[in-house]
Amino acid sequence: MATDFAKLLEKYDFVDFHSHILPGVDHGSSSLETTLFQLRSAKSAGINKIISTSHFYPNAHDVKRFVERREKAFSRILSCGEEIPEIRLGAEVLICNGIENLPDIEKLFIRGTNTILIELPGVPVLDSSLYTSVERILSRGVGVVIAHAERYKPYIIDRMIGLGAKIQLNSSAMTGVFGPKKHILNWIDNKHVIGIGSDIHGPDRKAYPDFLKAVSKLGERYDHINKESNLMWNISF
């Protein structure tokens, strides 16, 4: 197994598309010590690019204050002087009716890109207004990626894809006993998936080994995902 992982590290430039690593910004990391544990774990697994996607809840957060808190936390990480993975700041934005009208929403995009990571509410059926909001965001030329799409009813994700959204999957969707479900493989084969995320919270020792296991299970199916993640990473405005 170790040899197989070594081959993966030679083949791919991994991007963790979804993580909660900033100290004190959300419930992903309560301290700098926890954050450094997370980053060291990623580094030891050969993952050198991480998109930080702290939770943003429109009903509870103000964009300006959120961004200030995010920047302060990021500065704390950089001031440690450790050799850590490269971090790209973003947010996991919970969708709500009219989210497209949120002032300064562009500050929540994945930095350097015109892409926003959207979290859907955990309900069986979405209000039709939420599809409308995604459609309006997309109409402005903004890329929409649906976070951890495997958590939702397939028909919801299929409708989002039909509007033009892309999707991100958590590595845990691939590492179960039976592997990815058929609809997940269909999303991958039809090139709707542009990122795999650890969605790491806290001092999770399995998060990054599981990321590698997910890539191993996907095999060549991961080629396109990794290509898309790196294309987005390398975009710079």
pLDDT, one tens digit per residue, over 43-92 is 999 999 999 999 999 999 999 999 999 999 999 999 999 999 999 999 99
φ, ψ of residue 142 to 5 degrees: the values are -95, 135
Question: If we measure between CA atoms, which residue out of 175, 106, 165, 167 comes closest to residue 131?
Answer: 165
Given this model, what pLDDT does residue 2 score?
60
User: Is the Cβ–Cβ distance between 87 and 53 less than 8 Å?
Assistant: no
> What pLDDT is recorded for position 236?
60
Residues 47 and 13 sit within 8 Å (Cβ to Cβ): no
Q: Supply the pLDDT for residue 43.
A: 97
Between CA 221 and CA 218 the distance in angstroms is 5
Query: Taking the CB of residue 76, how many other CB atoms lie within 10 A of it?
Result: 14
pLDDT computed for residue 4 by the predictor: 75
pTM for the structure as a whole: 0.96
Structure tokens, 225: 């995902």
Look at residue 235 in the predicted model and tell me its pLDDT: 80
Is the pLDDT at 141 greater than 90, yes or no?
yes
**Mean pLDDT for the stretch of residues 130-143:** 98
Q: What is the mean pLDDT of residues 143-157?
A: 97
Residues 210-235 pLDDT 10s: 999 999 999 999 999 999 999 999 98
pLDDT at 1 > cutoff 70: no
